Amino acid sequence: MNIKFKKSYRFAVKSALYISVFSAVMLSALLYFTNAFSTGTVLLFFIILLVFSFFVLQYRVEHFIYRRVKKIYDDISLLEASPLRSKRITTDMATLTRELEKFARDKKMEIEALKIKEEYRREFLGNVSHELKTPLFTVQGYLLTLLDGAMNDKTLRKKYLQRAEKGVERLTYIVQDLDMITKLEVGDLNLHFTKFNILELIQSVFDLLEMKADKKGIMLMFDGKYLRPIMVYADQEKIQQVVTNLIVNSIKYGKENGTTEVSIEDLVNNKIIVRVKDNGEGIEKKNIPRLFERFYRVDKSGARTEGGSGLGLSIVKHIIEAHDEKIYVESTFKQGSEFSFTLEKSK
Ligand code: ADP
C-alpha cells in the first residue's frame, strides 16, 4: 500500500520565525547597548543564539512529535484497549516504530486465531448436525412406519418402538457428550482437585459397567492384586469420566468373551500411569493419530452396531490435558489396544 504523505512546512516556518524574531531583537539590543560591533559582542551574540535555538528546537520538536505521536496512540487505543496505552507515551521514534510493529504483529496473530476459531466453529456445527441427523432419521423412520399401519401388528409395534427408543437413547448421549465437550472447549472446566484412591474409583466403574461387559462376555479386571490404596490428586468426577470412557470403549471395541485389564504403575516424578488394555479389534496405524479428534471414528459407515458420538476420546484428552497430564495409545490391529494416562500421586 502506498501512502502519500503531505509535506508540511508549518513546523520549519514557525521554528525559523521564533529564532529570527529572537535574533533580531537580540541583535538590536546588543547594538543599542554596546554601541559597537566588537568580536566580544559577536561571540556573546553567537552563544546566546546558540542556547536559545537549542531550547526552541528541542521544545518544538518534542512538542510537535509528542502531539502527533499522541494522536497515533489515541487512534490505536480507539481500536482496542491496547497495552500501548498503559505505557508512557514516547517521543523516541525507534521505540514507537518497534511498538507499532509489535502491535501490528499481535493484531495479525489475533486475526489468524480468529480465522482458525471460525473455521473450527463451522466444522463443529457441520459435524453436530451430521451426527444428529442419523439417529433422528432412524427414529422418524420407525415412527412413520408405525403410523402407516405397523402399529396394528403387535410384534412389529414392540420391535419398532424399541428401535426408536434406541435412536432416542443415542441422541441423548450425543447431546450429553456435546454438552461436555462444549464446556471443556470453552475452558469452563473447573477442576476440583481432591485426594482419592484410584483403585476404588476404577472398581466402581467396573461395577457400573459390569452389565454392559457381561452382554459381550467381557471380563473387567485388574492385572493383579493391589493390596494398598493408591492415592492420587485430581478431579475425581472427571477422572471417573475418563476411566468410564476408556472402559466403555474397551467393551465396545473388545472381542466377545475378551478381557479388559487395568493396571497401575509408578512413574518417576511422583506420577502414576493407569493403563486400560483390551484384546479387541485394535486400531490400524494410520488411524491412530486422529483418534482424539472430535467426532473422529474409524468406521464411519455407521454399519457397525457399536459406536457413540465420536467424542469419547476427545473428552478424555481434554480432561487429562486440563490436569496437565499425558494420554497415550498403543494398538495392534486385530489384536487389541492400550490407552494409558498419567496422574499425580498424592503425598
Ligand atoms: P466413539 O463414540 O465412536 O466410541 P471415541 O472418541 O470414544 O468415539 O473413539 C473414537 C474411535 O476410536 C472409535 O470410533 C473407535 O474406532 C476407536 N477406538 C476407541 N477405543 C478403541 C478401542 N479400545 N479399541 C479399538 N478402537 C477404539
| In-domain check, residue 287 | yes
User: Same domain, yes or no, for 254 and 294?
Assistant: yes
For residues 52 and 58, the answer to whether their CB atoms sit within 8 Å is no
Spacing, Cα 258 to ligand 1 middle (Å): 17
State the distance from the centre of ligand 1 to the C-alpha of 282, rounded, in angstroms: 9
The reply to whether 108 falls in a domain is no
| Whether residue 283 is found in the same domain as residue 201 | yes
The string of pLDDT tens digits covering residues 275-332 is: 999 999 999 999 999 999 888 888 765 544 555 678 899 999 999 999 999 999 999 9
Same domain, 240 and 146: no
Confidence of residue 271 (pLDDT cuts 50, 70, 90): very high
- Tell me, using a 6 A CB cutoff, whether residue 294 lines ligand 1: no
**How many whole angstroms from 249 Cα to the centroid of ligand 1?**
6
Residue predicted with more confidence, 54 or 219: 219
Domain boundary among 186, 209, 226: 186
For residue 278, what is the domain's CATH number? Answer: 3.30.565.10
Question: What is the domain range of residue 134?
Answer: 113-186
* Inter-residue contact 281 to 344 (CB < 8 Å): no
- State the closest ligand 1 atom to the C-alpha of 297, by its place in the atom list counted from 1: 14
Give the CATH number of the domain where residue 153 resides: 1.10.287.130
User: Is residue 230 domain-shared with residue 326, that is, in the same domain?
Assistant: yes
HEC states along 274-292? EEEEECCCCCCHHHHHHCC
CB-CB contact of 45 with 22 (8 Å) = no
For residue 310, the CA-to-ligand 1 centroid distance in Å is 7
Q: Are residues 210 and 273 in the same domain?
A: yes
Same domain, 212 and 316: yes
* Ligand 1 lined by 246 (C-beta under 6 Å): no
Ligand 1: which of 177, 245, 283 to mutate, judged by most atoms within 8 Å of the beta carbon? 283
* 333 CB near ligand 1 (under 6 Å): no
Q: Is 98 among the domain residues?
A: no
Q: How much is the CA Rg of the chain, to the nearest whole Å?
A: 37
At residue 336, φ and ψ (nearest 5 deg) are: 145, 170
Do both 181 and 275 map to the same domain? no
Whether ligand 1 lies within 6 angstroms of the CB of 325 is answered as no
Return the residue whose CA atom lies nearest to atom 7 of ligand 1: 312
Whether the predicted pLDDT of 201 surpasses 90: yes
Nearest to 178 by CA among 125, 230, 219: 125
CB atoms within 10 A of CB 295: 19
- Nearest-CA neighbor of 177 among 235, 228, 248, 117? 248
Element holding 197 (H helix, E strand) = strand 193-197
Kindly state the helix (H) or strand (E) to which residue 341 belongs, with its residue range.
Answer: strand 336-344
The reply to whether 150 and 218 lie within a common domain is no
Ligand 1 atom with the smallest distance to the CA of 339 is 23
Task: Select from 336, 332, 329 the least CA-distant residue to 312.
Answer: 329
pLDDT at position 304 is 47
Of the pLDDT bands very low, low, confident and very high (cuts 50, 70, 90), residue 69 is confident
Atom number of ligand 1 nearest to Cα 177: 2
Q: Which residue from 313, 334, 340 has its CB within 8 A of the most atoms of ligand 1, so it is best to mutate?
A: 313
Cα three-residue angle 153-155-157, rounded to 5 degrees? 65
**Residue 142 — very low, low, confident or very high, per pLDDT cuts 50/70/90?**
very high
Cα 205 to middle of ligand 1, angstroms? 18
Tell me the percentage of the chain whose pLDDT exceeds 90: 50
What is the Å distance from ligand 1's center to 195 Cα?
30
The reply to whether 301 and 237 lie within a common domain is yes
Task: Give bridge partners of residue 28 from the DSSP assignment.
Answer: none
CB distance 249 to ligand 1 below 6 Å: yes
Distance 119 CA to ligand 1 centre (A): 25
Task: Using the 3D structure, point to which of 186, 219, 246 is the last residue of a domain.
Answer: 186
**Cell numbers placing 106:** 499481535
Residue 312 CA to ligand 1 centre (angstroms): 7
The b/e string for 238-254 (b: 16+ C-beta within 10 A; e otherwise) is bbbbbbbbbbbbbbbbb
226 assigned to some structural domain: yes
**In this structure, which residue's CA is closest to atom 11 in ligand 1?**
297
Residue 260 CB less than 6 A away from ligand 1 = no
* Shortest-distance Cα residue to atom 8 of ligand 1: 310
Say how many domains are in the chain. Answer: 3
Q: How far is the CA of 270 from the centre of ligand 1 (A)?
A: 30
Q: CB-based contacts of 339: which residues, under 8 Å, 6+ apart?
A: 246, 249, 250, 275, 276, 316, 327, 328, 329
Does residue 241 sit within a domain? yes
Does 99 map to a domain?
A: no
Residues in Cβ contact with 44 at an 8 Å cutoff, skipping those fewer than 6 apart: 30
Bridge partners, residue 197, by sequence: 231
pTM: 0.67
More confident residue, 74 or 157: 157
Is 102 part of a structural domain of the chain? no
Position 301 scores a pLDDT of: 57
Pair (292, 204) in one structural domain? yes
Distance CA 83, CA 76 (A): 10
- Of the three residues 43, 60, 91, the one that is the final residue of a domain is 91
